[in-house]
Amino acid sequence: MNVLVIGQGGREHALAWKLRQSPMVDEVFCAPGNAGTAADATNVPIASDDIPELVKFAQRNAVGLTVVGPEAPLVAGISDAFRDAGLRVFGPSRLAAELEGSKVFSKNLMRQAGVPTAEFRAFTNFEHALQYVETRSEQPLVVKADGLAAGKGVTVCESREEANEAIKRIMQIKEFGQAGQRIVIEEKLVGQEASILAIVDGKSILPLESSQDHKPAFDDDKGPNTGGMGAYSPTPLVSQESMDTIIEKILIPTIHTLRMNDRPFMGVLYAGLMMTAQGPRVLEYNVRFGDPEAQPVLMRLKTDVAEVLLAASEGRLSDLPDLEWDPRPAVCVVMASEGYPGDYKKGRPIRGIADADAMDGVKVFHAGTRMQGGDVLTDGGRVLGVTALGDDVIGAKKRAYEAVKKIRWEGAWCRKDISDKARG
């Protein structure tokens, strides 16, 4: 079977790398891919949002399964286009993908489903949003752009002034463009964050092992939010008891309510959770593998991922045996370009990737890279996801940072505390 992975980030490299290991898979294509997928798959020069060309490519190249990585094509209806053409695709429909495409839709659906989440209000009017903040007692609030903002449309505000500034940046300055036409203002939840990814085939739900992302740019969770500066799996935040609660109170009601609204969900349901003193609360939903959570989670998955994703696309997840996992934890450290999540330069040559990749239990996943001649160059803000297995979290972290030290380019940087929360 030929497989097409759509996207060009670290998540897509991890998927292509894992899919290529399957005895079911003959060839893995990645569109458009990056310098890492060029080594582990066959890159195809088609943009991830060029849906007609991607459909034609899959038809011409006998692609038996297409796996959609990024959220934007899913929200644009790429899965519908593939299914309409009679092609197997792993990813939710446009209607189901609105769960990530609109924060307002997502929060309203959670309210309908009785899913535990923060209290919220939605606004389309700038002045009304400011007035609402003034009526609130002086307490931390979270301001979110309604639409897709590459993981950066959320501002945690400790004061009214910060909330007003966030509203102004989104609705007046239009920092996130059309994504900020509506906003959500919600109470700030207190606790630690955890990520749960689940494979869904419309009816059955197959949760993956837990992970914890690190969104703020700098150590100790300081600085602006990013697309994610690292992750590790599993996280001790999610016990078996917690996982049972998450499945019963969050995942099942969400999937059921989507079906009741004629939006059956097939793909990855990603629940970003706050583990509060009152139990897990949903911060947000995504409709695809997390990045960088996919890297450590897929590193640990021993079951054939092609078999799982194919079964999901055909509605037969319930036929599969339990997933097998490497018991060792994995830590992924994101190496970023100087200036990220703000402005940064591209095109800087990277050295040492092969040396890091050669380490036992290490895989360097490319996120923002491209090839030029024989050189690997930076081509994004988050450039690499250096991922390592270890006998325990301390060992996995040590190995990941040893690999990071082997890699160099002008302006490279990373957080130094990825996975430290696992040790309390």
d(CA 242, CA 356) in angstroms, rounded, equals: 36
Query: Kind and range of the H or E element at 182?
Result: none
Q: Which two tokens stand for residue 1?
A: 């079977």
Query: Kind and range of the H or E element at 167?
Result: helix 160-167
Q: Residues 57, 44: contact at Cβ < 8 Å? A: yes
Reduce the DSSP state of residue 11 to 3 states and report it.
helix
Does pLDDT of 323 surpass 70? yes
Q: Give the pLDDT band of residue 184 (cuts 50, 70, 90).
A: very high
Least confident of 138-152, 162-176, 188-202, 237-251: 138-152
Portion of the chain with pLDDT greater than 70, in percent? 100
Concatenated DSSP letters for 325-375?
B-SS-EEEEEEE-TTTTS------B-B-HHHHHTSTTEEEEESSEEEETTE
Q: State the average pLDDT over residues 197-220.
A: 96
Task: Determine the pLDDT at residue 356.
Answer: 98
Other beta carbons less than 10 A from residue 405's beta carbon: 11
State the pTM of this model. Answer: 0.95
Query: What digits encode the pLDDT tens for the residues 72-108?
Result: 999 999 999 999 999 999 999 999 999 999 999 999 9
Query: What digits encode the pLDDT tens for the residues 17-37?
Result: 999 999 999 999 999 999 999
Q: DSSP alpha helices (H): ranges in 42-154?
A: 51-60, 71-75, 78-84, 94-101, 103-113, 126-135
Cα-flanking dihedrals φ and ψ of residue 222, to 5°? Answer: -100, 160
Does pLDDT of 136 surpass 90? no
* Residue 126 exposed, middle or buried by CB count within 10 Å (0-12, 13-18, 19+): middle
Q: Give the pLDDT band of residue 424 (cuts 50, 70, 90).
A: low
Q: Which two tokens stand for residue 292?
A: 């960088």
- 221 to each of 211, 252, 268, 321, how far by Cα in Å? 17, 31, 27, 39
Query: What digits encode the pLDDT tens for the residues 277-316?
Result: 999 999 999 999 999 999 999 999 999 999 999 999 999 9
Cα angle value 50/28/226 (rounded, 5°) = 60
Q: Residues 156, 221: contact at Cβ < 8 Å? A: no
Cα-flanking dihedrals φ and ψ of residue 170, to 5°? Answer: -80, -45
| Residue-range domains of the chain with CATH | 2-94 (3.40.50.20), 125-181 (3.30.1490.20), 192-319 (3.30.470.20), 330-423 (3.90.600.10)
Average pLDDT, the chain: 96
Q: Give the pLDDT band of residue 366 (cuts 50, 70, 90).
A: very high
Q: State the average pLDDT over residues 234-256.
A: 96
Return the closest-CA partner of residue 283 out of 151, 385, 182, 176.
151
Round the CA-based radius of gyration of the chain to a whole number and report it.
20
